[in-house]
A and B are shown apart, each in its own frame.
Chain A
């Protein structure tokens, strides 16, 4: 399912390379135009071109216009920020740029910072510190923001063991879903025997509704490359791969640009920073199969095989790509590493909770006012995320549940709003951290229907290699459809629970093992809704069209 190029690549967003406007002398004010995928699709290109023209027409010779990555408030795009004052202009229209141009005519560093929106004020930005500030297509911007200093410091002052020690001390855990300690993962690869070693960045991001990794790659690609180089230095790898889905054309193009720039600047390639460390990065494009985000399937796909998982152990750290010890980490995990090496592991570990250190990036979506990309310390409560940062539920409707962890996760009811978001609390409550999708559901959501949606997703995405997942997801979808269409009996529910337990225990990989989670968590907190569908044949939320009735399918023999 891998391969550079055409396969599976959807039509890219229209993309003209827009020139930044750089004034000849000192800059008084800078218009930062968000040109990540979401704002671009809302017309950020016209805004950029219009601002360059408008600044010229008004003769503002000390104003810069530049492209930046994700400004965070994706739903309110196109967004333009004036960097000197932090003023954010929302929903900017290319046809009328008067307000932005007026602001640019007077703003300067002395005019004071704008009243920060709570959406931003309550975040702690480590992984996303450069998002919306630097031009993702400029290595100079990255370097000016302190980029590649961590790599330089590592190569000149630290030996690989010291880099590993900092990452271990930081308490960083994998952000791809499972939360495995990153330092331990790297140490496994160091200890495993092998002539070659590899570092893989997992940018497959298949959870429906998740866009953390895409935003980071579109906004700050060099950061991911620097993180990969640091990982490679720590474990002794010379070669790295980024596995990114073809549905992310902008992320791919910015990543490729970044690799070219880093090579030219000597941050990738032979003898980096005049050390004896050499490291190159290659991009592999996935065809958008969810299961190819699973690490063994991803490796099979890079090897040119069918993207299906293999039983672990052996874990990739022991035997991964081409049988060599392989470190495979999520985009966000790797993007945290440069900051850790720059500021020290202890600094990173000072944020977060006892067992979940640092920050987590979430893609806030669903029935919440401020949808977008946020970064908060581990241990922040759901209430703070939904009401403090997210601005509450749209139309002030009652919140019913918060979905985390996508198809492998679960739904937490409103009674859990004061729960801290960390790996352990989420699991205890029946969900998981997952990669960072966070969907707010209001009182008009039917929880059985939500469970059905995720089960159908898993059915579509099952690779078909192992029977518990292949048939389990199909049968469970049928059972859930019977419930949501009003034709189920209590026996359907019993079968669903039995199937769910069997799939969870017997499936080969995480997809099938976790596919029943949305069912189990909605059963745990919203069993009444299942009952209403089955016993009263009504959907309390009014979502499901309850049609005719039929009995349980006949029992048959071979």
Chain B
């Protein structure tokens, strides 16, 4: 397999053909914020948090899905990138109703962590405060759309690992929602195996186990993921 050498924040590095910028950066100990990406699942490049500057390309590129190339010059941090990433987090917060103090994921939430890491401590955009559903028809789990960031990790884990494809996305633009079985209540889903993988991969408190109180939603280990790691996982 051929190897590409390129620079990451000025440092010369090497990556195998087919590896992404994110993979090489992680290996080098360079941290890049991510949200929709999860090791072991395919990458979709949707949340845009992992964008990095690549010399010669007109706009920032998502590190989670951009393959390394010979001679590439990659910059993972800049004032502009920091600001735009912070705006992404701000947008995610104002889009739905993320109220940490009453959330099951408080203290174990990737959105919360991102806000802390990127210094998002207030919003300048007006909160959109939509009125969204909670589907608690499932025996063990519930989904609170107020907290969903549409990362589609649940959709991918259900399809790619569990093989059930219970989840998908319905509607478009601001009306997009994650749905089970074409909109069937989760509890009535004929395809759901109740494996709970979606709950485990959800970065926020949108998908949660019933019976857990505020701050009790800590995710378990994810032993079902690593075997698909790296080159096994395609992109979609």
Partners in one complex: yes
Confirm or deny: A324 has a beta carbon within 8 angstroms of a beta carbon on chain B. no
Confirm or deny: A14 has a beta carbon within 8 angstroms of a beta carbon on chain B. no
**Known contacts A466-B46, A508-B46; A311 and B174 CB within 8 A of each other:** no
Q: Which residues of A contact B150 (CB under 8 A)?
A: 464-465, 467, 470
Tell me, rounded to whole Å, the shortest Cβ–Cβ distance linking A478 to chain B: 7
Whether A470 lies near B126 (C-beta < 8 A) is no
Whether B48 lies near A470 (C-beta < 8 A) is no
Confirm or deny: A310 has a beta carbon within 8 angstroms of a beta carbon on chain B. yes
Whether B92 lies near A504 (C-beta < 8 A) is no
A342 to B126 alpha-carbon distance, docked (Å): 59
Q: Which of A188-229 contact B (CB under 8 A)?
A: none
Q: Which of A540-558 contact B (CB under 8 A)?
A: 553-558
Q: Which of A306-326 contact B (CB under 8 A)?
A: 306, 310-311, 313
Q: Which of B162-190 contact A (CB under 8 A)?
A: 168-169, 171-176
Whether B126 lies near A478 (C-beta < 8 A) is yes
1/0 per residue, CB under 8 A from B, across A513-555: the answer is 1000000000000000000000000000000000000000111
Whether A464 lies near B174 (C-beta < 8 A) is yes
Whether A463 lies near B100 (C-beta < 8 A) is no
Q: Which residues of A contact B127 (CB under 8 A)?
A: 553, 556
Whether A506 lies near B84 (C-beta < 8 A) is yes
Tell me, rounded to whole Å, the shortest Cβ–Cβ distance linking A513 to chain B: 7
- Size bracket, chain A contacts: 35 or more
**Known contacts A463-B172, A508-B46; A470 and B122 CB within 8 A of each other:** no
Interface centre among A465, A467, A495, A555, by most chain B C-beta atoms within 10 angstroms, is A467
Looking at chain B's contact residues, the main secondary structure is loop
Q: Specify which of A472, A474, A556 is in contact with B122 (CB 8 Å cutoff).
A: A556
Confirm or deny: A338 has a beta carbon within 8 angstroms of a beta carbon on chain B. no
Whether B174 lies near A474 (C-beta < 8 A) is yes
A495 to B125 alpha-carbon distance, docked (Å): 8
Confirm or deny: B105 has a beta carbon within 8 angstroms of a beta carbon on chain A. no
Whether B87 lies near A502 (C-beta < 8 A) is yes
**Known contacts A306-B168, A506-B51; A470 and B173 CB within 8 A of each other:** yes
Tell me, rounded to whole Å, the shortest Cβ–Cβ distance linking B17 to chain A: 13
Confirm or deny: A360 has a beta carbon within 8 angstroms of a beta carbon on chain B. no
**Known contacts A311-B45, A470-B173; A505 and B115 CB within 8 A of each other:** no
**Known contacts A310-B45, A505-B60, A558-B115; A464 and B172 CB within 8 A of each other:** yes
Q: Which residues of A contact B236 (CB under 8 A)?
A: 310
Confirm or deny: A138 has a beta carbon within 8 angstroms of a beta carbon on chain B. no
Whether A555 lies near B123 (C-beta < 8 A) is yes
Q: Which residues of B contact A554 (CB under 8 A)?
A: 126
Q: Specify which of A310, A464, A478, A555 is in contact with B173 (CB 8 Å cutoff).
A: A464
A332 to B203 alpha-carbon distance, docked (Å): 45
Whether B95 lies near A464 (C-beta < 8 A) is no
1/0 per residue, CB under 8 A from B, across A33-74: the answer is 000000000000000000000000000000000000000000
1/0 per residue, CB under 8 A from B, across A480-509: the answer is 000000000000000100110010111110
A368 to B44 alpha-carbon distance, docked (Å): 45
Q: Which residues of A contact B59 (CB under 8 A)?
A: 504-506, 513
1/0 per residue, CB under 8 A from A, across B71-89: the answer is 0000000001000100110
Q: Specify which of A313, A462, A471, A513 is in contact with B172 (CB 8 Å cutoff).
A: A462
Whether B173 lies near A460 (C-beta < 8 A) is yes
Q: Which residues of B contact A498 (CB under 8 A)?
A: 87
Closest to B47 in A: A467
Q: Which residues of A contact B120 (CB under 8 A)?
A: 558
**Known contacts A311-B45, A508-B46; A558 and B93 CB within 8 A of each other:** yes
Confirm or deny: A459 has a beta carbon within 8 angstroms of a beta carbon on chain B. yes
Tell me, rounded to whole Å, the shortest Cβ–Cβ distance linking A504 to chain B: 7
A505-B84, A558-B122 provided; 13 other pairs, C-beta below 8 A? A310-B236, A311-B66, A459-B174, A463-B172, A467-B48, A470-B173, A471-B92, A506-B48, A508-B45, A553-B127, A555-B123, A556-B122, A558-B93
- 4 closest Cβ contacts across the A-B interface? A464-B176, A553-B126, A462-B173, A311-B45
Interface residues of A (CB under 8 A from B): 289, 291, 306, 310-311, 313, 459-468, 470-475, 478, 495, 498-499, 502, 504-508, 513, 553-558
